[in-house]
Structures are given as C-alpha cells and as structure tokens.
C-alpha cells in the first residue's frame, strides 16, 4: 500500500510540474473507463465461458478464479484449462502459456515510449493491466491525440475497467456459466471483440496490409504446435506493415 502511494505521489509530482490538476487526472481516468465500456460487451460473455470451462475441467472454484487474477489473459487461460483438463504436465502448461502470451512483448515495445517518464511502480502496475483490448484502445487514443503527461491515468482507467469486468464475469461463469444452454453462440464473443478493435485502426495501406497478412498467416499457420501460429502471424503482419510503410515514405 505504501509503495502504491509513493508511486502515485511521484507521478503527481511530475504532473504538478506540467500544471495538471486532480480534476484532470480524474477526467482522464474516467475517459479510459468510458472508452473501454463498449468492448466489455464482448469481454463479459467470454469471461463467463472461461469460468464455465474451468469448472468443467474440475480445476476448482478458487484456482479457476485465481487464473483470472494472476494470468489475466483470456486466450492463455482457455488453453491452460484445456491442457490441465487433458492431464498435461505443469511444465507443458507453462511453456504453452508463455508462447501464447509472447505477443504482449510486441505491445510493450509499442506502448513503452508513452510511459517512459513514469516511476517503476507505475510501470509494473500498467504492465500487469496490459492486454489485447487495453493496448488497442489506449494506443488508438495516443496516436489520435498525441502525447500527454496524464496518459497513464487514461490507461489505468482502461485497464481497471477490463480487469474488474473480467474478474466479475469469471466469477459468474464459475457459479452459473455451466448452466447456460450449449446452443448459445457465446464463443463468437472473442473474435467479434477483436474485429471491433482492429477495424477502426485500419487507416492506411500499411495497416490494412499488416492486418491482411497477419490474418492469412494466422489461418495457414494454425496447425503449428503450441499455438506458434499466433507468433508467426504477428511477426508476419509487422514485417508486412513495415515494408509497406517504408515504400510509402
């Protein structure tokens, strides 16, 4: 608790130098929550499905919820509980989850320059809250409106809104998700939420090319073991985007 207060105090000192008022920080925080809210319509059903799946693999209520609190990564949690249900060893589960979450290193490299001025404690907190959705919403805002000394408060609002809804929806899924009719097509919530995040950001040839190449590679490389197709698609999309962007310039 004392560490968190110190981090906030250090951040506040930076903001005071730039003339930032507490009302401005609250406005940025609230703006992050507001911008994330539409995405939660897809996240909440996804969290419920995870909770129901975790219980069906006899993982237990405490461990099922703990995965959402500690791992806090939807696709990795789905894969983890499926592997656990199949009797995979702990080493295999850790390796697969690690590979699946490698994409977060790309997110970190992209968004890190916006948080360079923050103390370490703030960086640790925001890194924990970094997810696909939080990155997409935040980086879109930063690219649209430029740098601001308060941009970490916006990210905090985005991340905490997603975190709270994910924990709550997981709990609901654990308790009642297994009772939902199998005919409900809730499994489409994840891809639909990603489509809603990606499409608004496709503003030029480089972005469209990167998305197209990543999509094709994701389908072609899907049979690769340990979900390596995700990394192939991500790296291929980045390479295509850089190539097209270089030709434009």
pLDDT digits (tens, 9 = 90+) for 27-67: 999 999 999 999 898 888 888 888 888 887 778 889 999 99
For 94, phi then psi, to 5°, come to -65, -40
Q: Tell me what pLDDT residue 48 has.
A: 85
Q: How many CA atoms lie within 13 A of 92 on its CB side?
A: 12
Res. 187: pLDDT tops 50: yes
Range of the domain at 242: 202-249
Q: Nearest to residue 80, comparing CAs of 64, 103, 102?
A: 64
39 plus 152 within the same structural domain: yes
Q: Which residue has the tokens 């103390």?
A: 119
207 plus 169 within the same structural domain: no
Joined together, the tokens standing for residue 54 give 């975790």
152 falls within a domain = yes
Q: What is the mean pLDDT of residues 104-118?
A: 89
Q: Are 121 and 6 in contact (CB under 8 A)?
A: yes
CA distance 40 to 133: 9
12 falls within a domain = no
CA dihedral over 97, 171, 30, 199, signed as positive or negative? positive
13 falls within a domain = no
Q: Is the pTM of this model over 0.75?
A: no
pLDDT tens-digit readout, 131-175: 999 999 999 888 887 767 788 999 999 999 999 999 999 999 888
165 falls within a domain = yes
């Amino acid at each position: 608790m004392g560490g968190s207060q110190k981090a906030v105090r250090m951040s506040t000192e930076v903001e005071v130098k730039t003339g930032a008022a507490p009302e401005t920080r609250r406005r940025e925080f609230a703006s992050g929550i507001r911008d994330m809210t539409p995405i939660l319509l897809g996240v909440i059903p996804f969290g419920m499905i995870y909770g129901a799946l975790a219980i069906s693999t006899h993982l237990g209520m405490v461990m099922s919820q703990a995965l959402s609190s500690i791992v806090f990564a939807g696709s990795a949690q789905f894969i983890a509980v499926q592997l656990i249900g199949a009797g995979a060893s702990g080493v295999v589960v850790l390796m697969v989850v690690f590979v699946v979450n490698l994409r977060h290193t790309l997110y970190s490299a992209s968004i890190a320059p916006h948080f360079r001025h923050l103390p370490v404690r703030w960086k640790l907190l925001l890194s924990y809250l970094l997810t696909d959705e939080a990155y997409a919403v935040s980086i879109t805002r930063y690219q649209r409106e430029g740098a601001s000394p308060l941009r970490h408060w916006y990210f905090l609002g985005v991340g905490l809104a997603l975190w709270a809804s994910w924990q709550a929806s997981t709990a609901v899924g654990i308790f009642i998700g297994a009772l939902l009719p199998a005919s409900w097509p809730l499994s489409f919530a994840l891809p639909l939420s990603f489509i809603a995040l990606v499409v608004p950001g496709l503003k030029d040839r480089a972005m469209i090319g990167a998305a197209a190449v990543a999509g094709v590679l994701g389908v072609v490389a899907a049979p690769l073991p340990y979900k390596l197709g995700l990394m192939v698609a991500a790296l291929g999309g980045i390479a295509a985007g850089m190539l097209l962007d270089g030709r434009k310039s």
